[in-house]
Structure 1
Amino acid sequence: MRTVEALVPLKLTLFGEHAIVYGEPAIAMAISESMKVTVKESDRTIISSSSLHIGNIRVNLQDMRVESDQISKALSFVIEALNYFEEKRPALINIESSVDPSVGLGTSAAVIVGVIAAYSKFLGYDFTNLEIAKISRNVEKKVQGLGSRMDTFTTSLGGILYFPRGSENVERLSSLPEIASGYVKRTATTAEILRRVKTVKENGREFNEILKLIGLVVEDARDALDKMDVETLGQLMYINHGLLMSLGVTSPILDELVSTARNIGLPGCKMSGGGGGGSAVCLKSPKAELLLESRGFKLVKSELNRTGVTIKEINS
């Protein structure tokens, strides 16, 4: 039985979340936490996942319609990724993640990237990581509408990536201090928070100024990373969190974590990702990990992944 396996790194946003949606720069990194998407030969298409709470379901191959409308929304990214290919072959598609879904670590993007990577190889295509990133971005945009290319590109390409202002280019950075990170359950989805930010944009002229300030923080953070100026980098993390707080995308638990981190002298800490709960990222230290755990955050493996998505074919 022919099997294709794609291993996709998850990601942390270091600087610039939300602002990147409106053309400002951002910095993200791929991490050692991962998602595995497996595609196996079958006489019918079944999509399953024990970790993403999808369960075993059946898909109508004629129109790729999920039999249950109740779970179709959860599978929309998978279905749209499969629909990218005009040719379709029945397959068992299993998705397993090392972290909970929707916690600001790019699991939605990783689902798309993993399905595109594994299913394309299953069909006989040999896409590069950059091609996978571009296809995945188009799939994500079709389903979600709002958003940026940051998550799909970071999980596809790996490394520390800088997304320049108003550009479709991406630059790979070389330096990064050690990071500690953890997550709690979110109180709102990324799509809901993006809509909330869009409403703020439409109702206040201060919005654009906040975005510009976030963009300046990102550019200064890039310079600090180039120089490995950890002290400046940490201060910029606190500033970035404060600006995100002014957009209304943080949460009480995130704000309390970051405030405590600053009060006890941690070098840098901020929310990471969409907000509304979810992930936090700090410059690594024993105190940082203890603080995250003491506030109920589940620690994640935050070592840098440099390879991006990898594909392995297994013939048995």
Structure 2
Amino acid sequence: MHFVSLYKPFSFKRCASNIEAQNLTRVSEFHLLLLSEESNLQLILFGLFLSMYLVTVLGNLLIILAISSDSQLHTPMYFFLSNLSLTDICFISSMVPKMIVNIQTHSTVISYVGCLTQMSLFLIFGCMDDMLLTVMAYDRFVAICHPLHYSVIMNPHLCVFLVLMSFLVSILDSLLHNLIPLKFPYFKDVEISNFFCDPSQVLNLICSGAFTNNILMCFVAVFFGFLPITGIFFSYYKIVSSVLRIPSSDGKYKAFSTCGSHLSVVCLFYGTGFGVYLSSAVSQSPKNGALASVVYTVITPMLNPFIYSLRNRDIKNTVRRLYRTV
């Protein structure tokens, strides 16, 4: 969902060739893109995004509450799911509230510090989503391929360690991206062609050494993008190989059903990310690119609770019990 948009090719070559002609200054604020200039449509967008934000937050909070209140759900799979829900809340909260305020006030201004802070939070929680989905794929791999050793391998200490490592890796990703704007705080423009401080948009506004930046971005793309995807694909390759060796069809269905929700979220996560990347590459309109970004920044976190609640019998039963006790 998120990582693909971070590694769009930057126009450092064009920037370097015109650096002497540019009037580069230290900026105190940036201007974001409004999805619509029409006042009537802005009111509709305000209500729409506010509703989606509330649904996302409440849905993920319900998942966390259901898991924490039911001792039967205190397993590694649901521990990772509760952390994924918390990450989705933080991820959408890093962008949508500011967008809602901008729509309401008809303002596009965000301060320099606010922009870098938003970009940092976007990277931390976007990368955290990526890391947690990889960890959850590993959890399903151990559960299906090594069921007799599952409780020993996926012990509480390892689960906590994997979540902490995911968080630390996400912070490292954010720090590496922020090295460039902090080292070269001079920008050729203050217009960001998106409704939030998209890292690729912000980095495109910086004039700095192309070679160093490209090396850094390639390292970040491989380490934080290619490796997690490879881990997920490898886990599911081993899972499918193990399931196909199960003789009974009921056993195959039961094994695949434990992966259904996670696989759906993975497909949604990466499918929307690649879709946004391809659509932005085809369309040169900034507004079309911003509208495409809404899919992976707003809609995907909103759908995750529905995927896990509708496809997971344990979650549905716990939610029903919580509803009856209210």
Q: Output the TM-score relative to the length of structure 1.
A: 0.27
Higher strand share: 1
**Max Rg structure:** 2
Higher helix share: 2
Structure of greater relative contact order (alpha carbons < 8 Å, 6+ residues apart): 2
